[in-house]
């Protein structure tokens, strides 16, 4: 059974303390919006009674949330036993979208939801970022953002914010990627470049670490949602870790925590994308599996050819089905190193669950038994630590999903980030009933 985690003190959570009037109002708007999101439709009186705000304040806050298109009025509700029926307030947000993107070595992914978490858009395009300049990659990313914003506009959805997930060390205050070794990005001011290109039509762009965003997606709505101590591992060419400890994302002094892929495990091993020797990702990253199993198609060998990771996995599985003995041995080798490296994580953080993302999830049936045995061999607590590997069911969209989740969280924490609609006219509404499911509009750009 799935439980639910919360973003619990994540970025954007409003701080309480001495505050001016505008801050108090923002905080109260957030309180009412979250209350409606968590508890469902209710009258203004009920909101007042349950939040401790006075009725006049709730009425004023509700007017502003209505004007911003974040809530709507629904059918009559009895305010109480003696109250006359009035219109109830409910979370709307179907016209407000949160857009998340991920740039990785071989693809760009886009994911969007409305404020209620309904998926509006979910696609991925192949792109060879490894062999492109940062400028070229940002052009491609800008194009993907424009396309996503246009698709959402066709659904009648205004974009409230955009977060871009990048596999690297990020200065989240400026939206600059300090280092993304597998992309070859050093000091790339992603947010500034995208804002200058006006891809987002004045919508704020933030940048964050892919593994951290994916971990938050898992913690809020994934296979191990609500598990207060979990580690998420990205299974890409690079391996990143998002660590949830005691229900909070572990950031570290600079927000750089979780670079587990660059923990040195073999001093006589291969050179890593970061320039060092024998990092964990040189043992378990997708590039090493591809090189062991399909050396003719190793990363970097066909400069002009862009291959989606799912295509590479299909090829690996096809070779295994055809009886190629290299595949089973290579996957077992990855599984052993996965368990050995995970033992370090268990020794450090004592997680209850390690969620395997990306390509690890697709090969989980083969990887987990080997990795679990190795984990118990190398973890100092052995089987006492009761830590299990589980496969994520978010595929390669966990980071973009988490990126969209971060935008939703920002709106819930500060509803004033969503503009008041032009003359507060109703924006086109999507049906929430019947067969008009916006996911069915999913547009997958041609590869």
Match 């492109």 to its residue by tokens: 132
Residue 257 CB, nearest approach to Zn ion (Å): 16
Question: Taking contact as CB under 5 A, which single stretch among the options 23-31, 57-65, 228-236, 255-263 is the one that binds Zn ion?
Answer: 255-263
| Nearest to Zn ion of 109, 239 (CB atom) | 239
* 119/210 Cα distance (integer angstroms): 19
Minimum CB distance to Zn ion, residue 268 (Å): 15
Q: Closest separation between CB of residue 375 and Zn ion, Å? A: 22
Torsion of CA 380, 276, 402, 445, to 10 degrees: -140
Helix, strand, or coil here: 97? strand
Main-chain phi, psi angles of 206, to 5 degrees: -120, 160
Q: Quick one: which of 35, 262, 401, 410 contacts Zn ion (CB under 5 A)?
A: 262
Question: Could you tell me the smallest distance in angstroms from the CB atom of residue 331 to Zn ion?
Answer: 22
Whose Cβ is closer to Zn ion: residue 272's or residue 356's? 272
Cα separation, 234 vs 392, in Å, equals: 10
Cβ proximity to Zn ion: between 25 and 276 the closer is: 276
Segment interacting with Zn ion (CB under 5 A) among 101-109, 229-237, 264-272, 369-377: 264-272
| CB-nearer residue toward Zn ion: 101 or 279 | 279
Minimum Å gap between C-beta 167 and Zn ion is: 12
Cβ(114)–Cβ(94) under 8 Å?
yes
DSSP SS3 for 393:
coil
Q: What are phi and psi of 218, to 5 degrees?
A: -65, -40
In this structure, how many other beta carbons lie within 10 angstroms of the beta carbon of residue 423?
6
3-class DSSP state of 148: helix
Q: Which is nearer to Zn ion, 237 or 279 (CB)?
A: 279
The residue count for binding Zn ion (CB under 5 A) is 5
Contact 29, 64 (CB under 8 A): yes
- Contact segment (CB under 5 A) with Zn ion among 11-19, 224-232, 270-278, 366-374 equals 270-278
Question: Binding Zn ion by CB under 5 A: which of 279, 330, 371, 408?
Answer: 279
Calpha distance 358→211 (Å, rounded):
11
The token pair at 384 is 């006492």
Q: Using the minimum distance from each CB to Zn ion, give the nearer residue, 95 or 168.
A: 168
Contact partners, residue 438, CB within 8 Å, separation at least 6: 118, 119, 120, 121, 155, 430
For Zn ion, the closer CB: 9 or 264: 264
CA dist., res. 102 & res. 167, Å (int): 9
Radius of gyration of the chain (CA): 23
| Least distance between Zn ion and beta carbon 341 (Å) | 12
Q: Which stretch binds Zn ion (CB under 5 A): 104-112, 135-143, 276-284, 331-339?
A: 276-284
Q: How far is the CB of 234 from Zn ion (least distance, A)?
A: 14
Residue with Cβ nearer Zn ion (140 or 270): 270
Q: Closer to Zn ion at the Cβ: 68 or 262?
A: 262
| CA angle, residues 308, 389, 260, in degrees to nearest 5 | 65
Mapping DSSP to helix (H, G, I), strand (E, B) and coil, where does residue 224 land? coil
Nearer to Zn ion, 248 or 276 (CB): 276
Cβ at position 184, least distance to Zn ion in Å: 13
Which stretch in 23-31, 75-83, 279-287, 377-385 sits in contact with Zn ion by CB under 5 A?
279-287
Please state the closest distance from residue 262 (CB atom) to Zn ion, in A.
Answer: 4
Among 31, 125, 274, 330, binds Zn ion (CB under 5 A): 274
Residue closest to 430 by CA, chosen among 128, 112, 176, 27: 112
Q: Which one of the spans 186-194, 262-270, 315-323, 399-407 is the region binding Zn ion (CB under 5 A)?
A: 262-270
CA pseudo-torsion sign 269, 387, 374, 357:
negative
In the beta sheet, which residues pair with residue 340?
A: none
Q: Which of 152, 272, 343, 397 is in the footprint of Zn ion by CB under 5 A?
A: 272
Structure tokens given for 192: 């500034």
Inter-residue contact 164 to 206 (CB < 8 Å): yes
- Is residue 283 a contact residue for Zn ion (CB under 5 A)? no
Are 133 and 102 within 8 A, CB to CB? no
In this chain, which stretch among 76-84, 218-226, 254-262, 385-393 interacts with Zn ion, using CB under 5 A?
Answer: 254-262
- Positions touching Zn ion (CB under 5 A) are 262, 272, 274, 276, 279
């Amino acid at each position: 059974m799935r439980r639910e985690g919360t973003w619990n003190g994540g970025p954007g959570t409003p701080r309480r303390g001495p505050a001016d009037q505008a801050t108090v109002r923002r905080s109260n708007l957030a309180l009412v919006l979250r209350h409606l999101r968590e508890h469902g439709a209710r009258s203004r009186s009920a909101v007042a009674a349950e939040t401790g705000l006075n009725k006049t304040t709730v009425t004023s806050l509700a007017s502003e949330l209505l004007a911003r298109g974040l809530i709507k009025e629904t059918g009559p509700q009895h305010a109480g036993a003696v109250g006359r029926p009035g219109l109830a307030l409910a979370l709307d947000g179907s016209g407000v979208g949160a857009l998340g993107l991920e740039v990785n070595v071989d693809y760009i992914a886009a994911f969007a939801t409305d404020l209620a978490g309904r998926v509006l858009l979910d696609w991925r395009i192949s792109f060879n970022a490894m062999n492109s300049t940062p400028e070229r990659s940002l052009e491609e990313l800008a194009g993907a953002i424009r396309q996503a914003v246009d698709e959402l506009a066709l659904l009648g959805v205004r974009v409230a914010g955009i977060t871009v997930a990048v596999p690297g060390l990020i200065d989240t205050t400026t939206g600059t990627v300090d280092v993304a070794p597998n992309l070859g990005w050093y000091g790339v001011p992603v947010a500034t470049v995208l804002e200058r290109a006006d891809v987002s039509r004045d919508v704020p762009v933030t940048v964050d670490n892919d593994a951290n965003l994916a971990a938050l997606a898992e913690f809020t709505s994934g296979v191990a949602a609500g598990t207060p101590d979990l580690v998420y591992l990205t299974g890409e060419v690079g391996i990143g870790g998002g660590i949830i400890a005691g229900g909070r994302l572990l950031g570290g002094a600079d927000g750089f925590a979780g670079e587990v892929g660059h923990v040195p495990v073999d001093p006589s091993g291969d050179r890593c994308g970061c320039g060092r020797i024998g990092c964990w990702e040189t043992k378990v990253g997708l590039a090493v599996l591809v090189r062991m199993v399909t050396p003719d198609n190793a990363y970097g060998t066909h400069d002009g050819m862009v291959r989606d990771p799912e295509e590479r996995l299909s090829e690996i599985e096809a070779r295994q089905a055809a009886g190629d003995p290299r595949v089973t041995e290579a996957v077992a080798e990855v599984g052993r190193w996965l368990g050995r490296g995970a033992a370090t994580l268990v020794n450090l953080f004592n997680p209850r669950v390690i969620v395997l993302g990306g390509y690890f999830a697709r090969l989980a049936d083969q990887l987990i038994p080997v990795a679990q045995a190795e984990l118990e061999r190398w973890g100092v607590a052995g089987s006492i630590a009761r830590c299990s590997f589980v496969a994520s069911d978010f595929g390669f969209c966990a980071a973009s999903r988490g990126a969209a989740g971060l935008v939703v969280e920002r709106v819930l924490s500060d509803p004033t980030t969503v503009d008041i609609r032009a003359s507060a006219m109703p924006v086109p509404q999507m049906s929430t009933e019947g067969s008009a499911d916006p996911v069915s509009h999913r547009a997958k750009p041609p590869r």
